[in-house]
Amino acid sequence: MVEELAVNVLPVFDTLKKVFGFQSFRPNQEEIIRNIIVGKDVFAVMPTGGGKSLCYQLPAKILNGTAVVISPLISLMKDQVDAAVENGISAAFINSSLASEETAAVFRRLRNNSIELLYIAPERFAMPNFLETLKGVRVSLFAIDEAHCISEWGHDFRPDYLSLSNIAKTFPEARIAAFTATATRKVQDDIIVKLGLRNPFTVRASFNRQNLFYIVKAKRELTSQIMDVLKKHAGEPGIIYRTTRDSVDGMSTFLSGQGIKALPYHAGLEQEQRKANQEAFSKDEVNVIVATIAFGMGIDKSNVRFVIHADLPKNIESYYQETGRAGRDGEPADCILFFGREDIPRIRYFIDQITDETERDIALKKLNQMVRYASHNVCRRRQLLGYFGEDYANKNCGACDICTGKVEKVDITIDAQIFMSAMSRTGQRFGIMHIIDVVTGADTKRIRELGHDKIKTFGAGKDKDKNHWRFIADELLAQDVIYQDGSAYPVLKMSEKGKNILLGKEKVSALKREEIKKKPLKGKWGVFEDCDRILFERLRTLRKRLADEQEVPPYIIFSDKTLHEMCRRYPAALPEMIRISGVGDAKLERYGDEFMEEIRTYLEENPDISCGF
């Protein structure tokens, strides 16, 4: 197999630079690529934004034959193919979005061995006619993206993936490389067995996305809190995740009314409308997409600068994957979760509808892990990495709200006793907001009707606002002093620990955080430096014009990271431009002159600027 299909491995670095415009590999990429080239199967867990597409696109350029990429992300295929073509790779896709004549044209190219990289969905691979065609083609590699979908232990199992277990038997001469961004050890072992990988070279890359800043905020006034984030990221692209279609539509309408270019995305929209909204976001025609979790499966936009979870995710795998949509270009990005315990019963309701007891228990366990992540004052990065079995050695990650905030340990025993006394005197039959109304002395019709204005602890905490008492409730819940009982309308109950605190036998403290200004993020490849923002806007405008002419998303022309480097080093001549990361031969020939001309003009207008070369 190796002698027949592989060529000399020496062109690896030449191909990296000339085709993709990169001077060096990211961690694990070179080892994966070289193992594929010499004929080994590969299994790789790589985080979103870790550069897995290069791991099969570069071999596709070097190896003789066609590399077949199998992915469920149909809505993403066109952008992936456009990006490959921009880099000078002969690429195509076959899926249900193509007209019959377009599909026939791809098949002709395939039979003529003129496609280096072919994207298909798993359903296509299962079609007998397609398989017969593929048997007549020299296939160098099968790259299976989102490989966790073949495992019933994964968070996104898809029965269509089971047909992929036939690849090794049907195409014994082809290499198989499986990639996923989220897989526990158990899921990893299951994938390797189900795909029949032959003594694979295995990589578990770090799950640490160093350029992402993780923040959890208590959900209070959600719309104003989101507006604060959008003001900070004015003009920058971002995603807001909501749980329901109605909340997506409501948030999108609200933001549009505030003058923000925002569009909704959910399964209730007509397919053409969803597609149009996604393309508008990809092409930088709108800044914000408000979406249900389904949106993440169709976006490869590299310059997303923030991801907001306005509602609690169901599990850490989903949260990690969705935050991974941010900062895929390696530049800094924010991941903000607004956490309110009122979200928990909504998710519990859907979990309770699961008929299989084992599946229901797993879903509940994963929800509890997500709640712990959001409610515990422990480094967010350490918690995320620990979930995937990775130890984080640093005491301070420097890139989450916990590690960059000022933390003070305070005794909350007296407030806890006031809160739990109100719970006890009302029979432990009410939820958080009602107990807060009792301790703050709220004059409501319900409290008067229930006679709760007559109990001893009514108004005992009126000297502090409701936000303070919500903080107390959240802390007591997080420390298992109290717990919520019931799904649809949960009431508060005291644990044994809570009873001891109420009786004065134990004390309880909490960590109060005060947010401080973030420091510049530092990554493995150095400091994420700022750049000339005025020039950046000019180059971004030029990029948008060229992208519109080519009918592709702007990030396919050049990523934000590439533009940022241009705006730090001012490459105004050919020898300088070719040294910019992301500028390969094909893009240099196609776009280099116009970008260099724009930079030269800017330097002439600003003669005091010193260039970085």
| Mean pLDDT value across residues 445-458 | 94
Angle at the Cα of 103 from the Cα atoms of 97 and 107, rounded to 5 degrees: 145
pLDDT at 456: 93
| CA separation for the pair 350, 485 (Å, rounded) | 16
- What pLDDT band is residue 317 in, cutting at 50, 70 and 90? confident
Q: How distant, in Å, are the alpha carbons of 233, 278, 326, 444, 459 from that of 334?
A: 9, 21, 7, 40, 40
DSSP state of 400: B
pLDDT at 358: 86
pLDDT at 186: 85
- What pLDDT band is residue 524 in, cutting at 50, 70 and 90? very low
pLDDT digits (tens, 9 = 90+) for 407-416: 677 899 999 9
Q: What percent of the chain has pLDDT over 90?
A: 62
DSSP state of 521: P
> Which burial class, exposed, middle or buried, applies to 69 when counting CB atoms under 10 A from its CB (0-12, 13-18, 19+)?
buried
For residue 267, pLDDT over 90 is answered with no
| Mean pLDDT value across residues 249-275 | 93
Among the listed ranges 260-269, 301-310, 519-528, 542-551, which one has the minimum average pLDDT value?
519-528
Residue 329 CB partners (closer than 8 Å, separation 6+):
49, 302, 303, 555, 559, 560, 561
pLDDT at 98: 87
pLDDT at 120: 94
| CA separation for the pair 562, 555 (Å, rounded) | 10
Q: Is the CB of residue 157 less than 8 Å from the CB of residue 151?
A: yes
| Mean pLDDT value across residues 284-298 | 81
pLDDT at 8: 42
Among the listed ranges 77-81, 134-138, 582-586, 606-610, which one has the minimum average pLDDT value?
606-610
pLDDT at 119: 96
**Dihedral over Cα of 280, 281, 283, 285: its sign:** positive
| Mean pLDDT value across residues 531-538 | 91
Structure tokens at 334: 């924010």
- What pLDDT band is residue 587 in, cutting at 50, 70 and 90? very high
For residue 153, pLDDT over 50 is answered with yes
For residue 3, pLDDT over 50 is answered with no
Buried residues in 527-565 as b, exposed as e (16+ CB within 10 A): ebeebbeebbebbbebbbebbeebebbbbbbbbbbbbbb
For residue 1, pLDDT over 60 is answered with no
| CA separation for the pair 238, 226 (Å, rounded) | 11
| Mean pLDDT value across residues 229-253 | 94
| CA separation for the pair 459, 463 (Å, rounded) | 8
Among the listed ranges 217-226, 244-253, 518-527, which one has the minimum average pLDDT value?
518-527
E-state strands within 226-375? 238-241, 262-265, 288-291, 306-309, 333-339
Domains of the chain in sequence order = 2-204 (3.40.50.300), 212-405 (3.40.50.300), 409-514 (1.10.10.10), 529-605 (1.10.150.80)
Which of 151-160, 516-525, 557-566 is modeled with the greatest confidence? Answer: 557-566
pLDDT digits (tens, 9 = 90+) for 327-382: 988 889 999 999 988 888 888 888 888 998 888 888 888 998 998 899 887 899 99
pLDDT at 90: 95
Q: How distant, in Å, are the alpha carbons of 43, 491, 495, 530, 556 from that of 428?
A: 52, 7, 11, 54, 58
- What pLDDT band is residue 461 in, cutting at 50, 70 and 90? very high
pLDDT at 203: 93
| CA separation for the pair 574, 597 (Å, rounded) | 11
- What pLDDT band is residue 449 in, cutting at 50, 70 and 90? very high
| CA separation for the pair 225, 218 (Å, rounded) | 10
User: Which DSSP helix (H) or strand (E) runs through 576?
Assistant: helix 574-577
| Mean pLDDT value across residues 262-273 | 91
For residue 57, pLDDT over 70 is answered with yes
Mean pLDDT (the chain, rounded): 88
| Mean pLDDT value across residues 531-547 | 93
